[in-house]
């Protein structure tokens, strides 16, 4: 058996043994930024700038969580890239799918969703129209109010540009972890202006956002991972021309 050295060397050896065998021992120093991309040592404003640059340079991302806007809560699970997006949105009206390929936007929902939309519009249900749309990809006309409303959920640049903003004075708030990845957290106005967890591994992508004033929480993953978008089959598509039956 190897003898443990005495004095200062003995304390050093004990510290090393503690790290190897049982994690960090009180009194053993460690650098939380060791082996990271280094952004954890930067000022909060610089971290925000770098994470925005990383997000802007990415070709794709998956975004999931909740967004509160104009008093309405939307739960999103979207995969986005510059040429389009696919995913689902859940609102008070129910769940619906979105697919955008270039300028073509499709909305897919069940009959209950369309009936709810009719009720919100004029207080009456149209079961026949809802039945025709049930489970179909409905091509949303570019001039329809729904196009502007829903296409924002499918536009990577617009969506990230509007979301990745902290309000007020910026500061760092320690090292954290998101889905197994080490992060540095930055805050606006000590958290009341939102918090953003930024990856300390690889590029400094944003990984989690808690928006100001309880306006939702989102996670970001699959940064720069390519995915394919396919046009729905003609048999699965309904084109209502100039305006949806319940816009």
State how far the Cα of 210 lies from the Cα of 187, in Å rounded to an integer: 9
User: How far is Cα 132 from Cα 110, in angstroms, rounded to an integer?
Assistant: 10
Tell me: the pLDDT tens digits for 13-33? 544 444 444 444 444 558 999
Please, which pLDDT band fits residue 228 given cuts at 50, 70 and 90? very high
Percent with pLDDT over 70 in the chain: 79
Q: Determine how many CB atoms are found less than 10 A away from the CB of residue 147.
A: 19
Q: Which of 44, 63, 75, 38 is nearest to 193 (CA)?
A: 44
Q: What is the pLDDT of residue 14?
A: 44
**SS3 assignment, position 181:** strand
Residue 127 parent element (H or E): helix 127-133
Please check whether residue 186 is in contact with residue 19, taking contact to mean a CB–CB distance below 8 angstroms.
Answer: no
Q: How far apart are CA 82 and CA 38, in angstroms?
A: 29
**How far apart (Å, rounded) are the C-alpha atoms in residues 189 and 186?**
10
Q: How many residues does the chain have?
A: 247
Query: Does residue 5 sit in helix, strand or coil?
Result: coil
Residue among 139, 89, 136, 86 at smallest CA distance from 111: 136
d(CA 118, CA 231): 27
What's the pLDDT at 127? 61
178 has pLDDT over 80: yes
| DSSP-assigned states of every residue in 49-64 | HHHHHHHHH-SEEEEE
Asked if the model's pLDDT at residue 8 lies above 90, the reply is no
Name the token pair of 221.
């993953």
Read off the pLDDT band of 6 (50, 70, 90).
low
Residue 242 class from Cβ within 10 Å (0-12 exposed, 13-18 middle, 19+ buried)? exposed
| 131-158 pLDDT, tens digit each | 788 889 999 988 888 888 889 999 999 9
């Amino acid at each position: 058996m190897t003898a443990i050295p005495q004095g200062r060397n003995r304390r050093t050896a004990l510290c090393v043994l503690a790290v190897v065998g049982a994690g960090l021992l009180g009194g053993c120093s460690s650098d939380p930024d060791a082996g990271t991309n280094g952004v954890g040592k930067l000022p909060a404003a610089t971290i925000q700038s770098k994470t925005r640059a990383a997000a802007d340079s990415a070709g794709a991302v998956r975004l999931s969580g909740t967004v509160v806007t104009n008093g309405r809560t939307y739960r999103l699970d979207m995969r986005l890239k510059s040429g389009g997006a696919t995913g689902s949105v859940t609102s008070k009206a129910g769940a619906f799918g979105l697919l955008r390929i270039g300028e073509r936007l499709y909305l897919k929902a069940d009959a209950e969703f369309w009936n709810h939309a009719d009720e919100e519009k004029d207080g009456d249900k149209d079961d026949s129209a809802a039945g025709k749309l049930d489970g179909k990809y409905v091509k949303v006309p570019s001039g329809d109010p729904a196009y502007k409303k829903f296409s924002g959920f499918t536009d990577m640049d617009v969506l990230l540009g509007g979301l990745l903003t902290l309000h007020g004075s910026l500061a760092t708030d320690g090292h954290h972890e998101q889905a197994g990845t080490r992060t540095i957290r930055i805050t606006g106005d000590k958290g009341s202006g939102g918090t953003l967890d930024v990856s300390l591994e690889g590029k400094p992508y944003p990984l989690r956002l808690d928006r100001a004033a309880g306006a939702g929480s989102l996670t970001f993953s699959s940064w720069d991972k390519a995915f394919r978008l396919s046009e729905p089959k003609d048999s699965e598509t309904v084109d209502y021309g100039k305006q949806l039956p319940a816009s």
